[in-house]
Chains A and B, each alone.
Chain A
Amino acid sequence: MTAAGSPQVAQRRRMLVRGTVQGVGFRPFVYTLATELGLAGHVTNTGVGVLVEIEGGSAEVAAFCRRIDTEAPALALVESITHEELAIGGDTGFTIVASVPPEPGAAHRTRIPPDVATCARCLAELEDPADRRHLHPFITCTDCGPRFTIVTALPYDRAHTTMADFPMCPDCAREYTDPGDRRFHAQPIACHACGPRLALVDADGAPIGFGTLDEARRMLAQGAILAVKGIGGYHLACDAADEDAVLRLRERKGRGDKPFALLARTLAEIEPHAAITDAEKELLTGAARPIVLLRRRPAARAALPEAIAPRCPDLGFMLPYTPLHHLLLGLLDDRAGPRLLVLTSGNAAGEPIVTDDGEALTRLATLADGWLTHDRPIRVPLDDSVVRVVDGEPLFVRRSRGWAPLPIRLPVEVPATLAVGGDLKNTFALAEGREAWLSGHVGDMDDLATQQTFEHTIEHLGAITGVRPEVLVADRHPGYRSTGWARRAAARRPVRLIQHHHAHIAAAMAEHGLDGAAPVLGVAFDGTGYGDDGAVWGGEFLRADYADFHRVAHLRYVPLAGGDAAVARPYRMALAHLYAAGIEWSPDLPCVRAGSDEERRVLARQLERDLNCVPTSSMGRLFDAFASLIGVCHLAGYEAQAAIELEGAAVRRPGPVRGYTFALLPGEGEGDPLIADPGPVFAAAIADLRAGCDPELLAARFHHAVVDLVVAVAEHTRERYGPTPVALTGGVFANAIVSSACGRALRERDFTVLRHRLVPPNDGGLALGQVLVGAGRRAPGETGRP
């Protein structure tokens, strides 16, 4: 860069702006800025970013260089700007020129923004009878609308979106080409004249009624279940106040008691059901619009059908994020209709969310009474994100729409990597250099359709990030479909296998920018992870860096009898724990009465003979077992149901309670891990149970036992190895009580606590950790650089 000369000296400069700069109104911003400063030149989108050439007085050029960074549009994330001095070209005027398609094989490094909720200005136009987009279900501008889910290729241009087949009408074209307009180069721009068409159809694709939206609202008000095409796929919607409709939806979806999310018209509709903190309000009303898990008001329970989220302490709320949602819930002067909708992803249990219009009719045929659909295709499926707030900070349960595909900055360089994640709640990651792109929620890899979605989504994310993986990373579980897929897809590229909990801990380290030079104490509590000794791990204290880990302590092994049967029936886990602790299966205990005599008799034999039993140190299964022990939940119809209901019981018993105590036993040999024995916890809880204590008290005392255990092992580790940060990770830390109380207790004792803020603590965050551990590890037999 040259020093600024005298104002009259002319200069020409080329700048390449990298980051999330396409689809966010960056070129109009550049145009406006250059025009205001009287600069000549042009701006264009390329495969690597926005390319600007300006020519004019050196003072104006300098001002431009400063302001392009500081005044960039709200949705833009400028990562770098490179400058280059050029010879004067003698341009007059400033223009936006057509995008330059990326050279074949060139690495794309431009960022596609996530899908953004309808902005306030669009919403005002939507409600304004005088506006030409009054009630237009696809209203959007450079500040809002679909992005990631409609992009088919780079650079981000209308031709490379699913809007390619909607030629603009003259009015839209004028706005699109007018640098002074809010919709200047808004790629999904549309209006009543030229935009996608909304339709309400039956299972045969034939239109229902007259006046699509009125009819849809009328059907909802009468208790119908509608498939509604959203941003990242179809949802199923029904009136949340209509208990029959909610029960029917639950039955048709075949998903047991799994809680439904709610779409509320406004914050005011949520208030009666849940108190909202400022941090929660910010999430609910922000551009990403996730489902926010809110503690429900105990007193307000009767106001909503219990079937929405049976025995769950939280309700998941979101606010409308598309014009269609706003219209469906009714604008201010619309006649009354449902103000609160159940909105759940449109799929049968276990399948991925449906995006294709034809498939929506067939795959949702038994689920929906009508289809509110349109002809703007969805390129990539994307479920709603789910977030809760713990101690004022967001804690992701699912990071998907609104965040994908924003990259996560890595603390160390990594080779071009594909980390395939885990098998349930799968997300994968593509990474290269100092960045990792996490996919949205893919789902359960048991399902064929999910595996196919997994493959398509890898292709799509690969195309828009330009990462061509040289290394694949997967979990060590021998039965994981994701691992099997990685092996099949490897084609001579190395496949590095990473221990499950090591990956969880590495994810937490990466989020906090740790370079791995010093180890952390990772507390990885989840349901199941394949352990290096062939056992099922899940209550792990690992001293870990990216390269390696050492097991400091773990929950005592108990037999997991019958694999997934033990997961589905928590009372079996309770009985296994009692067996391991030498406590009699006495008929006064709720868990003993939960199964049949036959099952108990066979289970006893199964445990004795070690038949189809795997040793497990799972903390998730311990929560299940305890929930059944005290009679809170004996059968899990959805993942973590028992743990969620146990948390619900503990929530009903606020205030200080004394925790039960795990026995912390030394390992057998020098350097062997400590064993945390829950036997005394069970013995004490049974004594309380027999003394007639409430299950709520027992649940609270159990939660505190877990927190005390974490503190005890952290103290032990500090004594033995010196101070280390403590990372809290694994699905159990989605439990707000455990997460919050562990954080507080550790900080009080001067520990640095690493909690997840960017990716979920559950397996949805696994791929990020796999990237970091995989980067430094060679698979057996692999040569070359690590």
Chain B
Amino acid sequence: TGHGGGGALSAELVEHVFAPAFGGPLLASLADSAVVTLGGARLAFSTDSFVVRPLFFPGGGIGDLAVNGTVNDLAMSGAKAAYLSVGFILEEGVETSVVARVAQALGDAARAAGVEIATGDTKVVEAGHGDGIYLNTAGIGLVPAGVDLRPQRAAPGDVVIVSGDMGVHGVAVMSVREGLEFDVEIRSDCAALGGLVEAMLAVTPDLHVLRDPTRGGLGAALNEIAAAARVGVEIAERDVPVPPQVANACAILGLDPLYVANEGKLVAFVPREHADAVLAAMRAHPLGAGAAVIGECVTAHPGMVVARTGLGGTRVLDMPIGEQLPRIC
């Protein structure tokens, strides 16, 4: 789970290279995690690799990210993560104290998320062939009965809710990586969302879609859902929570906060009749205190995401294409 662009490239690889090569309908579904049936149990199963730079940033580090990323991918299927595997790929020469600090953060994050690290692996690559530490985690968890969360289930009338501020994590990581000194320090809000999802599902198991808007941000996540379900998504730009320091940083850097990566946030498509109760349950949870309704799912413009602007126009939010190239002539 990196940040910035690259979404279109990996989506293309999945579609044109991996899915045909592996031939699995599960992979082709493009969900964050797969739901498989094994011995009568419905399991969510997911893996993710972490190549984030730097290893530590205000509010977190690669260790917590590796736990939370996979725990959140499972949570987006409605599953509470039970077991994780961890693979370390270490570059020769990386200091033991650094590895220890990452491992500690990993363990702490796992305990906080209530998930057990059940298996692991370590490989060392030659100096110059890695970037300090890469991590891979995989996880499994049980999907509760009656829960069926998939992008394809987004339906016109659904209310679109985000769990809190957008863009914080991506800007925080970028600031330290690039040495950007903003007047106000921005700390990552990276967190594990299992508990929040549990609270939401307690209202009704019939939520339609959950998505953690990581790489490509909210814009990419909504586009993937709109495309998968062949529905339109309409949001109100001013209802999307973006904290002022993030808005300021994005304005300076020329980024659109709607396309900046998050970790520890989710977007939910909720049937209208449950929207108020789900929103209330989210706000009652510490990780959903800033939850907000940002829009709805519509029948118009299927496959397209539009944002109503402050001036009353409707801007089309496309899938990000990597760098945000200007179009003004």
Contact = CB atoms under 8 A, between A and B. Distances in A.
A264 to B, nearest CB: 29
B325 A479 contact: yes
A348 interface: yes
A350 B311 contact: yes
Interface string A589-610: 0000000001101110110010
A467 interface: no
A602 B325 contact: no
Given A448-B315, A449-B313, A451-B316, A562 B325 contact: no
Interface string B153-190: 00000000000000000000010001111110000000
Contacts of A567: 326, 328
B179 A536 contact: no
Interface of A: 254, 348-351, 363, 366, 422-425, 445-449, 451, 477-481, 484, 526-530, 536, 538, 560-567, 598-599, 601-603, 605-606, 609, 611-612, 614, 620, 639, 731, 762-763
B129 interface: no
- Most chain-B CB neighbours within 10 Å: which of A449, A601, A611? A611
A566 B254 contact: yes
A350 B313 contact: yes
B255 interface: yes
B327 A480 contact: yes
Contacts of B13: none
Given A351-B312, A477-B325, 5 more contacts: A451-B316, A562-B255, A563-B324, A564-B326, A611-B253
B312 A363 contact: yes
Contact of B182 (A348, A530, A598): A598
Interface in B252-311: 252-255, 301, 304, 306, 309, 311
Contacts of B318: 479, 481, 484
Contact of A609 (B178, B182, B313): B178
A605 B329 contact: no
A605 B315 contact: no
B253 A447 contact: no
A349 B313 contact: yes
Contact of B328 (A424, A602, A606): A424
Contacts of B301: 448
Contacts of A560: 326
A448 B183 CA distance: 37
A529 B252 contact: no
B253 A562 contact: yes
Interface residues of B, number: 32
B207 to A, nearest CB: 27
A602 B248 CA distance: 11
Interface string B97-138: 000000000000000000000000000000000000000000
B323 interface: yes
A605 B328 contact: no
Nearest to B313: A350
Given A479-B325, A605-B179, A446 B255 contact: no
A536 B315 contact: no
Contact of B329 (A527, A564, A565): A527
Contact of A565 (B174, B253, B304): B253
A614 B325 contact: yes
A497 B52 CA distance: 36
B314 interface: yes
B327 A254 contact: no
B5 to A, nearest CB: 10
A556 to B, nearest CB: 18
A478 B254 contact: no
Contacts of B28: none
B115 to A, nearest CB: 35
Contacts of A363: 312
A346 B146 CA distance: 51
Given A254-B311, A562-B253, A611-B178, A478 B325 contact: yes
A478 B181 contact: no
Contact of A731 (B249, B251, B314, B329): B329
Contacts of A423: 327
A591 to B, nearest CB: 16
A762 B327 CA distance: 13
Contacts of B254: 561-566, 612
B20 to A, nearest CB: 18
Contact of A598 (B252, B312, B325): B252
Nearest to A609: B178
- Most chain-A CB neighbours within 10 Å: which of B251, B304, B306, B329? B329
A536 B326 contact: yes
Nearest to B232: A448
Contacts of A614: 323, 325-326
A191 B210 CA distance: 62
- Most chain-A CB neighbours within 10 Å: which of B304, B311, B327? B327
A481 B316 contact: yes
Contact of B306 (A422, A448, A527, A762): A448
Contacts of B316: 445-448, 451, 481
Given A562-B254, A611-B253, A762 B311 contact: no
Given A447-B314, A612-B254, A606 B180 contact: yes
B329 A529 contact: yes
A567 B255 CA distance: 13
B318 to A, nearest CB: 7
B321 interface: yes
A72 B255 CA distance: 59
Contacts of A480: 327
A527 B316 CA distance: 22
A612 B313 CA distance: 27
A395 B180 CA distance: 46
Nearest to A597: B183
Given A528-B327, A564-B326, A620-B329, A612 B315 contact: no
Contacts of A731: 329
B313 A639 contact: no
11 contacts: A349-B313, A448-B304, A478-B321, A563-B324, A598-B181, A602-B182, A609-B178, A612-B253, A612-B324, A614-B325, A620-B329
A350 B328 CA distance: 13
Contacts of A561: 254
A609 B179 contact: yes
Nearest to A367: B312
Contacts of B327: 423-424, 446, 477, 479-480, 528, 564
B253 to A, nearest CB: 5
A144 to B, nearest CB: 35
A606 B179 CA distance: 9
B220 to A, nearest CB: 14
A449 B179 CA distance: 41
Nearest to B183: A598
A528 B326 CA distance: 7
A612 B314 contact: no
